[in-house]
Amino acid sequence: MSKRFKVLSIVGPGRSGTTILGNILGEVPGFFSAGEMRFIWQRGLIERRACGCGVPPPDCSLWSAVFREMAAKGVAVTERGDAAPGSITLDPREIVGWQDELSLLRRRARVLKQFTSRTGWEAFDRYTDLMGRLYESVAEVTGARVLVDTSKRAQDTVVAAQLPSIDHYVLHIVRDPRAVTYSWRRIKQLPGRRDTAMGRKRPLNSVLRWVENCLGAEVLRGRTEPSRWLFMRYEDFAAEPRAAVERIVAFVGENPGLVPFEDNRSLRLTVNHTVSGNSNRFVKGPVTIRADNEWQDRLSTPARLVTTAFSLPFLPRYGYAIWPHDGKTPLRSFSKSEAGD
């Protein structure tokens, strides 16, 4: 039987700093940051987008070893149909079909209720079994005690939460929705793909996705052991990055003294093997973490109004001013009753 390991699922809206945070955690001894693992099938195997090391996962030394380990465990994921005798062969497009079924709006509430090992829902059960084998294979190949998955969505986290072979933890991270709206308007090129940029969103679409993510996270929190749930804001991480990472490492029961910072804000990032995420996952070398507050001066008034109106119920809950007079996001600590920390 494989040795038990931990999975830290990071839940939160896109453009909330989850990629750079995951990469930093991946530098901690005993940790491995996989990026957004839900995209390994579509973006990694079908579209062959680059792993953090710069080559597609099927050609990456680490991920190809993971797929071989999965095949040894009895499940081969391949489009060629050349699995070893006795293995179950899955086409990645079939797996993406399961994901699509679980992601349908009318299905998401049902997914968030699934906290049993078997549900009778074929797509959910087969996908859960597959992800369990994937997590176990990554742990075997990397030797990591803690796997970091930045998939962000609550419904993906539910899958990891019920796997019996892991100790599961959730980090819920949020960012001021107006900063998220502004970030989604920026053009971010994908490295190695000159004519392709990351997707952009209009303010209404951005804030609706932000609200949807927060709603899912709140449901998930109600079904998670309090000792396995940690809340953090991007703004607090950016204000004191070393302290924030130390807190996360201690939260999952590891040694916070091993965080890789050279001072309170700076560290050196090495090559990673994240399968998907913000384009900053390709950054290597010296990095200094600083707050990105450009939105405070450059987000248009209409976009600010739309974003504020639709996110209004969550702003005080997460410690954000409804309309900051000085244009700045207040930074303060949270009590347990405010955000579940």
- pLDDT tens digits for 40-60? 999 999 999 999 999 999 999
For residues 220 and 228, give the distance between their C-alpha atoms in angstroms, rounded to a whole number: 11
Partner residues linked to 148 by β-bridges:
8, 33
Question: Rounded to whole angstroms, what are the CA distances from 21 to 17, 105, 164, 176?
Answer: 6, 28, 26, 17
The helix, strand and coil proportions of the chain, stated in percent and rounded to the nearest 5, come to 45, 15, 40
Per residue in 262-289, pLDDT tens? 999 999 999 999 999 888 899 999 999 9
DSSP 8-state assignment for residue 195: E
Residue 332 is classified by DSSP as -
CB-neighbour burial class of residue 325 (10 A; exposed 0-12, middle 13-18, buried 19+): exposed
- Return mean pLDDT, the chain: 88
Q: Average pLDDT in the 11-38 region?
A: 96
**Whether pLDDT at 338 is above 60:** no
Neighbours of 220 (CB within 10 A): 22
Query: Residue 72: what residue type?
Result: A
Whole-number Cα distances in Å, 268 to 249, 282, 289: 18, 13, 11
Given a contact cutoff of 8 angstroms between Cβ atoms, the answer to whether 73 and 66 are in contact is no
> For position 108, what pLDDT does the model report?
73
Rg (CA), the chain: 20
Q: At residue 310, what is the residue type?
A: F
**Backbone torsions φ then ψ of 172, nearest 5 degrees:** -100, 115
Question: Counting runs of H as helices and runs of E as strands, what totals does the chain give?
Answer: 13, 11
- pLDDT > 90: percent of the chain: 73
Angle at 125 between CA 169 and CA 58, to 5 degrees: 75
Question: pLDDT per residue over 285-320, tens digit each?
Answer: 999 999 999 999 999 999 999 999 999 999 999 999
The model's confidence at residue 76, banded by pLDDT at 50, 70 and 90, is very high
Closest by alpha carbon to 193, among 63, 38, 23, 50?
A: 50
What average pLDDT does this structure show over 178-182?
A: 96
- Do 15 and 203 touch, CB atoms closer than 8 A? no
User: How far is the C-alpha of 222 from the C-alpha of 226, rounded, in Å?
Assistant: 9
Phi, psi (deg, nearest 5) at residue 233: -100, 145
User: Is it the case that residue 337 has pLDDT exceeding 80?
Assistant: no
Domain boundaries, the chain: 5-339
Q: Which CATH number fits domain 5-339: 3.30.1360.150, 3.30.1490.440, 3.40.50.720, 3.40.50.300?
A: 3.40.50.300
CA distances from 90 to 41, 60, 96, 123, 136 (A): 11, 20, 11, 13, 17
Could you give the 3-state DSSP secondary structure of residue 9?
A: strand
